[in-house]
Amino acid sequence: MTIPAHGAGRDRPVLVVDFGAQYAQLIARRVREARIYSEIVPHSISAEEIAERSAGAVIFSGGPKSVHVEGSPRIDPRVYGLGIPILGICYGAQLIAAELGGEVSRTGVGEYGRTVMNVRRPSLLFGSDEGDKAAGTSEPAERPVWMSHFDSICSVPEGFAATASTAQAPVAALEHPERRIFGVQFHPEVAHTPGGQAVLERFLYHGAGLAPSWTTESFIDEATATVCAQIGDGRAVCGLSGGVDSAVAAALVHRAVGHQLTCVFVDTGLMRQDEGQQVIDAFRRSQGIELIAVDAADRFFDALVGVTDPEEKRKIIGELFIRIFEETANRVDGAAYLVQGTLYPDVIESGSDSAAKIKSHHNVGGIPEHMDLELVEPLRNLFKDEVRSVGCELGLPDEIVWRQPFPGPGLGVRVIGEVTPDKVALLAQADAIVRAEIAAAGLDREVWQAFAVLADIRTVGVMGDERTYGQLAVIRAVTSEDAMTADWARLPDQLLEKMSSRIINEVAGINRVAYDITSKPPGTIEWE
Ligand code: XMP
């Protein structure tokens, strides 16, 4: 594929117009995978705003409504006159057809899931036979695609060509290459549409004439300059949790302003085995970042004496964490900026109520307002996978870049019942074995989270000739895309056997191991 040299950095974004689709984020990610910067915008955006943003292209997402329903989401129709290339997906394609003079009808027969589509070429989105042959990418005229629609486009607006059809959809794709307006009824963004990414790339590179210039390196350079401009010669603080987001944010800000950044690491005593030391080594030693490490384990254990209720534990741990962070940050003279690892999905979701609730549960406490620090959020335009690439590029170690999600309250919510130093020590050992064996089996990137839980019961066993009465460890391993839903991981028998026997042999006090086979819903990933 030849690609014209016309950049699409942040100054020339591809705007994904959200019509209420579950896939808007996925579309934006796929565009970025094509190395072109994209952002999600609401459908209420005006044509002027789109023009002012110097959009390189606009993509209309799908949506749950019919274009025939009163009040279905629309877009400022002047967008079609801007000369900016447009691709409509599913509902977006129907909207283009309906608004530009084609016909969208209720055939009474929808298509859901895998569907066979016939392509008519030449077509800009599907390529020409000759072009494909020359490039060695010949694609069949008949190809499977992923559909999810009820209405169908029956006729195209004037000047458009229908370039694909299916048994139920006479127009499964349409295009007007001169006006640079395109539509597809199927979902090129989902993994179930083989070759979907190539269709998106043809639109971006050939339809819109954009070049793949959004790279990790270009992001780092741009973000460094932005952070320098924001902080100037001020001082910044950053709370490191050990997780990838705060780690990458800190490394980036350090690259920009060096010793003007001080990181604070509060060791709650509830972290995984060796994790505290790993964080200190990675930041202080390897990155040369100024780091204040506070060993606050005793304060956390004292505060948790006699507490068994999970929400009560979360509250106590969260509040104490903030208090210690604040005490420590106040020791950094003249700190005026607070670095946070906010990501793009947090930014997009912060509008919706349900998302807000999820966050208040997960961001254990917030930084108190009276601290009066200006936020520095260098990752607020990035998806998680991009944050990981930035982390690698900045030289952070794999254990941090690929670290699995870990709850703020740490092992405090994985010791069921009262949290004591002894129980945490037992759990940390069992948990380290689970994670080491998952890694040894090469499954650590396939499994979303794998860990051990220490149950609040004791069971009878026999070891040697001795009767034992010990603790129960539960192994939890799940696969997931986003933690909203999850399935229990089908780990190989031998792996489970190895984890079980190692835990029982190596962790004195645990005499039984169980494997949790509950999905989410109805369960949750954590036990508390
Ligand atoms: P659940 O247990 O709700 O977990 O299925 C979903 C994801 O969120 C993590 N989690 C937390 N993260 N503070 C956090 O920062 C918390 O209190 C918390 N509780 C759960 C959990 O590990 C999983 O990734």
Decide: 119 and 202 in contact? Cβ < 8 Å. no
Decide: 248 and 390 in contact? Cβ < 8 Å. yes
526 Cα to the center of ligand 1, angstroms: 6
pLDDT higher than threshold 60 for residue 363? no
- Closest Cα to residue 257, out of 226, 280, 218, 219? 226
Minimum CA distance residue for ligand 1 atom 6: 483
What percentage of the chain carries pLDDT values higher than 70? 92
What's the length of the chain? Answer: 528
Q: Is 99 a catalytic residue?
A: no
Residue environment code for 56-81, b if the CB has 16+ CB neighbours within 10 A, otherwise e: bbbbbbbbebebeeeebbebbeebbe
409 Cα to the center of ligand 1, angstroms: 9
pLDDT in tens, 412-433: 999 999 999 999 999 999 999 9
pLDDT higher than threshold 50 for residue 5? no
Q: Report the pLDDT value the prediction gives residue 367, as an integer from 0 to 100.
A: 63
Q: Is 238 a catalytic residue?
A: no
Q: Report the pLDDT value the prediction gives residue 137, as an integer from 0 to 100.
A: 52
Alpha helices (H) in 472-524, listed in sequence order: 493-506
Banded model confidence at residue 356, pLDDT cuts 50, 70, 90: very low
Minimum CA distance residue for ligand 1 atom 17: 362
Around ligand 1, the residues with Cβ closer than 6 Å are 314, 362, 364, 405, 407-409, 449, 483, 520, 524-526
Tokens of 251: 């490394």
Distance CA 83, CA 102 (A): 20
DSSP 316-379: HHHHHHHHHHHHHHTTSTTEEEEE----HHHHHHTTSHHHHHHHHHHS-S---GGG--EEE-TT
Atom of ligand 1 nearest to the CA of 527: 2
Distance CA 509, CA 273 (A): 17
Question: Bigger pLDDT: 3 or 46?
Answer: 46
Minimum CA distance residue for ligand 1 atom 18: 407
- Closest Cα to residue 474, out of 517, 506, 441? 517
148 Cα to the center of ligand 1, angstroms: 31
Minimum CA distance residue for ligand 1 atom 20: 407
Q: Report the pLDDT value the prediction gives residue 97, as an integer from 0 to 100.
A: 97
Minimum CA distance residue for ligand 1 atom 4: 525
Distance CA 407, CA 476 (A): 14
Q: Report the pLDDT value the prediction gives residue 27, as an integer from 0 to 100.
A: 96
Q: Report the pLDDT value the prediction gives residue 361, as an integer from 0 to 100.
A: 36
Angle between the N-to-C axes of helices 244-257 and 216-231, in degrees from 0 to 180, rounded to the nearest 10? 70
pLDDT higher than threshold 60 for residue 459? yes
Distance CA 254, CA 260 (A): 8
Decide: 243 and 406 in contact? Cβ < 8 Å. yes
407 Cα to the center of ligand 1, angstroms: 5
Mean pLDDT of 224-232: 98
Q: Report the pLDDT value the prediction gives residue 73, as an integer from 0 to 100.
A: 94
Banded model confidence at residue 139, pLDDT cuts 50, 70, 90: low
Tokens of 452: 């051990």
361 Cα to the center of ligand 1, angstroms: 8
383 Cα to the center of ligand 1, angstroms: 19
Mean pLDDT rounded to a whole number for the chain: 91
Decide: 173 and 185 in contact? Cβ < 8 Å. yes
Minimum CA distance residue for ligand 1 atom 21: 407
173 Cα to the center of ligand 1, angstroms: 41
Query: Any bridge partners for residue 221, and if so which?
Result: none
Banded model confidence at residue 285, pLDDT cuts 50, 70, 90: confident
Distance CA 12, CA 15 (A): 9
Pocket test for ligand 1, best of 411, 416, 453, 526 (most atoms within 8 A of CB): 526
Atom of ligand 1 nearest to the CA of 314: 17
Angle at CA of residue 443, ends 441 and 445, nearest 5°? 145
Pocket test for ligand 1, best of 319, 362, 488 (most atoms within 8 A of CB): 362
Choice among 33, 39, 111, 189 that is catalytic? 189
Banded model confidence at residue 275, pLDDT cuts 50, 70, 90: very high
pTM for the structure as a whole? 0.83
Minimum CA distance residue for ligand 1 atom 9: 407
Choice among 33, 39, 90, 254 that is catalytic? 90
Q: Is 192 a catalytic residue?
A: no
Tokens of 201: 């790339």
